[in-house]
Structure 1
Amino acid sequence: MALTQDPDGLSRIGQAPESTTHKVVKSLWIGIWLFYLSAPVTDLVRGGHGTAARLLGGLGLLAFTGWYLVLVFRTAKLMPVARVLVSLAVLATQAAVLSLTLGREWLVLFVYVSISSGAALPGEYSRWTVPGATALLTAVAFSVPGGDEYLAGLLVPALMGGFAMVGVRAMIRTTTELRQARATVAQLAANEERLRMARDLHDLLGHSLSLITLKSELAGRMLPGQPERAAQQVADIERVSRQALVDVREAVSGYRRPTLPGELAGARTALAAAGVTADLPAGFEDGSLPEEAESALAWSLREAVTNVVRHSGARRCTVTLTTRQTLAGAVVELAVSDDGTGGAAVPGNGLTGLTERLEAVGGTLSAGPAGRGGTSGFRLLARVPLGSVVKVAPAARRAGPTGQEGLRRHDLGSGS
């Protein structure tokens, strides 16, 4: 079997030759072991055989060698087991006939029969064919004049060589399976990374673009009567745009981890710009919330507030962050509710992304109408397990109330 090297230095075990160099190296590797056929060749030249015997012996040796190479050289397309068994029977017959007619020097052909059976047959077959070829070697050796003298030097190579090729074949099969598994893992990792990027970009851009749209509308309404206030809104748009660009870059790089304090501050700004009265917690105190859990809750807060701003038509939004003891242990609950138009939650990009984030940390997500009948408000509840209790600070001061008209209720996640 061939053993060449990939450009990256990894062994190319069990692969068909892909270039002329690979084919030459594999041919040389297999050809080295043909050196032991020098005994039959020498016998043809110096064995004192007649011309007809030499001619027939030479043709028989060429046929034997050619079919042996076919059996051990194929890797791209495996032969059926039945065909391999027939080929091995032909090789064994050739070896027996040549040994019985030309002499003991030809007994070495049985070693090649054993090796080719170990290389070409599955283990459940070769564990019988290798001893069978060795037994046939023994029987023929005792039938050839002086063959018993050669037998001791051929039994070990026949047995060891055959079973060594069984091990090589098993190693090739295992290496091929590992290579396929590695390719599958790489594909799964690439798919997971694409999902992560799509989820992060959806959450980041949905929030930032919603805020930019609101502030652009406000700036347009303030012109030309209030140029100073319009200029302030334009400055806010520039700041949000720059921050969105930084967030996208960090998300693509895989380094961004949103925090609850940062998202609470962003929620307060976004709700105030939309004219929604905000009832928000000041934050949590002792930092015992795990980073992954905090990140999942921060994304949930961002997505929920974005949908309140864009689709709810609400006048008030309430965010609560509490700890609760359950039979399964302590959990942290983030609830975002509003008094908007309500409506059922239809799974979209946002809900799907939030669900995946929370499930990754053992959490859950529920979303739906806040009131009875599904017509008064909407509520999102994100819950994550917690090893130790997090103390939640009291609610912060509310943002100033102003109405924001023209907003329609939309399913959470399909429009952010």
Structure 2
Amino acid sequence: MNAVTVQEHTDPGTTRATGGIRIGVRPENRRHQIVKLTWTGLWLFYLSAPVIDLVRGGHSAGARLLGTLGLAAFVVWYLVLVLRVGRETAVPRVLLSLGVLAAQATVLSLTLGREWLVLFVYVSISSGAALPGECSRWTVPGATALLAATASVVPGGDEYLAGLLIPALMGGFAMVGVRAMIRTTMELREARATVAQLAANEERLRMARDLHDLLGHSLSLITLKSELAGRMLPDHPDRAARQVADIEQVCRQALVDVREAVSGYRRPTLPGELAGARTALTAAGVAADLPTEAPAELAEEEESALAWSLREAVTNVVRHSGAKRCTVTLTSCQTLAGPVMELTVADDGAGGPAVPGNGLTGLTERLEAVGGSLSAGPAGKTGFRVLVRVPLGSPS
């Protein structure tokens, strides 16, 4: 495991290659596409009945060949419809595709037998997945009705109908719900990205206003005294010198004000870093177990040191650990040196020894400035733990 390094938190709307597909996020690379295709393909297991019928159903060689081609075409058409979930496609084109799929299911069932009635379940599911709710609430029952009508014609189809009606209806409407959930999730992601952008813009405006308020008066005073000193210099050099001294004092005070303002903008807070850590871990696919509230008894320097430690430790978990779970605890305890606040960031990742780096060195220096300490290393056979101690009641 590499050393902790300082890094800004990842944009919540950004996706990472975590080996899985998150709801509402389209596949970003070939690996994601393969995972999604594999997950969708698992449900093709229920096509075993038509496959067994092709092998053992006593059909002629020509019927087997046509049945195999028809089943392959049906599966490809079904996958195209289902894998396009969340994309915008004209409803008439989707309806035409569903009509082709339903026609394939009907022809195959009528010509090859009752085992092929299961294809209508896939027609219903693809209908719910590919069409908006206002359309699929009609097409799902329509596909189920077509199943019932076809089963009444196919020899022995009534025996299969009871076991297929419920899966066709429930599967279709379940996909309607999944589609709605995906759309809502995508809209929430877009809204969150918009809110983050608006917040950043508002922060820039606030900084611009504060700097204007800080420097506007000082710069105006410097300009006025500079003009006054220029006029006094030929006849009253001593008075001009006093004006120059005043200019120096105003410049120094303005520099102090700017430094304090910039330090205030840069100083992280524990509530903000806890929220940011939860967002970063969730975006990385890491289960996050974090406190819901930050301790209220911390001084400004103590809170800042703990917040920087939390940010860097979580960044390390996201970037290097490959962990599935990260646990963060904040506890106050009594030691021989006095009361301290302990921050622990532990993960179940690859582990390994701590490697000194710029982030770890900088973090240690921050903690030493407030009398704190840091220890980092493996936590058992797997995992890594960062333990930070900051004394309570340090001078502010």
Given the two structures, how large is their TM-score scaled by the length of structure 1?
0.56
Match of 2:15 in 1: 6
| Aligned residue type for 1:48 | G
2:190 aligned partner:
180
State the partner residue of 1:74: 84
Higher relative contact order (CA 8 A, sep 6+): 2
User: What does residue 136 of structure 2 align with?
Assistant: 126
1:149 maps to 2:156: no
Deviation per residue, 1:83-124 (Å, 9 max, x gap): 111111111111111111111111110010000000011111
Match of 2:150 among 140, 155, 171: 140
Structure 1 equivalent of residue 41 of structure 2: 31
Gaps of 5+ in 1: 257-416
Question: Which of 171, 194, 204 is the equivalent residue of 2:204?
Answer: 194
Code of the residue aligned with 2:157 in structure 1: it is G
Displacement after TM superposition at 1:11 (Å)? 7.0
Give the CA RMSD over aligned residues.
Answer: 2.5
> Are 1:130 and 1:159, in contact at CA under 8 Å, matched by a contact in 2?
yes
Alpha-carbon offset, residue 77 of structure 1 = 4.2
- Report the Cα distance in structure 2 between the residues aligned to 1:122 and 1:187, rounded to whole angstroms: 30
Once the 2 structures are TM-superposed, how far is the Cα of residue 176 of structure 1 from its aligned partner? 1.9
CA shift at 1:227, angstroms? 5.2
**Is 1:49 the equivalent of 2:59?**
yes
Distance in 1 (alpha carbons) for counterparts of 2:185 and 2:163: 33
Alignment-derived partner of residue 160 in structure 1: 170
1:89 equivalenced with 2:99 (yes/no): yes
Aligned to 2:59, the other structure's residue is in SS state: coil
Q: How far did 1:229 drift?
A: 4.2
1:59 to 49, 69, 75: 69
1:356 counterpart residue number: none
How many Å separate the matches in 1 of 2:215 and 2:126?
Answer: 63
Q: Distance in 2 between matches of 1:224 and 1:155?
A: 103
Provide the residue aligned with 2:243 in structure 1. 233
The answer to whether the 8 A contact 1:14-1:75 is kept is no
2:115 to 105, 114, 132: 105
Aligned partners of 1:186, 1:202: CA distance in 2, in Å? 24
1:218: how far off? 3.4
Pairwise CA distance, 1:217 = 2.9
- Equivalent positions of 1:396-407 (< 5 A) are none
Moved more, 47-56 or 13-22: 13-22
Q: CA deviation at 1:168?
A: 0.7
8 Å CA contact 1:104–1:141 kept in 2: the answer is yes
Does the residue aligned with 1:216 lie in a helix, a strand or coil?
helix
Larger Rg computed on CA atoms: 1
Where does residue 308 of structure 1 map in the other structure? none
| TM-score, normalised via structure 2 length | 0.58
Instruction: For 1:242-391, list aligned pairs within 5 A.
Output: 242-252=252-262
Conserved in 2, the CA contact under 8 Å of 1:118 and 1:126?
A: yes
The one-character-per-residue Cα deviations of 1:328-348 (angstroms, maximum 9, x if unpaired) are xxxxxxxxxxxxxxxxxxxxx
The answer to whether the 8 Å contact 2:232/2:240 transfers is yes
For residues 244 and 21 of structure 2, the distance between their equivalents in structure 1, rounded to whole angstroms, comes to 61
In the alignment, structure 2 segments of 5+ residues that lack a partner are 1-13, 267-396
1:238 positional shift: 2.2
Counterpart residue type for residue 42 of structure 1: I
Q: Secondary structure at the match of 2:147?
A: helix
Q: Distance in 2 between matches of 1:161 and 1:76?
A: 18
SS in 1 for 2:89: coil
After superposition, give the CA deviation of every residue in 1:201-253 in whole Å (9 maximum; x if it has no partner). Answer: 22322211111122223333444665554443333222211221232334445
Secondary structure of the equivalent of 1:7?
coil
> Hey, what's the Cα distance between the residues in 2 that align with 1:96 and 1:227?
105
CA-CA distance at 1:13 after TM superposition: 2.5
**For residue 182 of structure 1, what is the amino acid of its counterpart?**
R
8 Å Cα contact 1:216-1:234 kept in structure 2: yes
Matched-pair contact (CA < 8 Å) for 2:85–2:129 = no
Percent of aligned pairs with the same amino acid: 79
Q: How many equivalent pairs are there?
A: 252
Partner Cα distance (2:96, 2:255) in 1? 69
Distance 2:36 2:184 in 1: 20
CA contact (8 A) 1:16 1:75 kept: no
Give the match for residue 274 of structure 1.
Answer: none
| Cα deviation code 1:237-281 (max 9, x no counterpart) | 22211221232334445569xxxxxxxxxxxxxxxxxxxxxxxxx
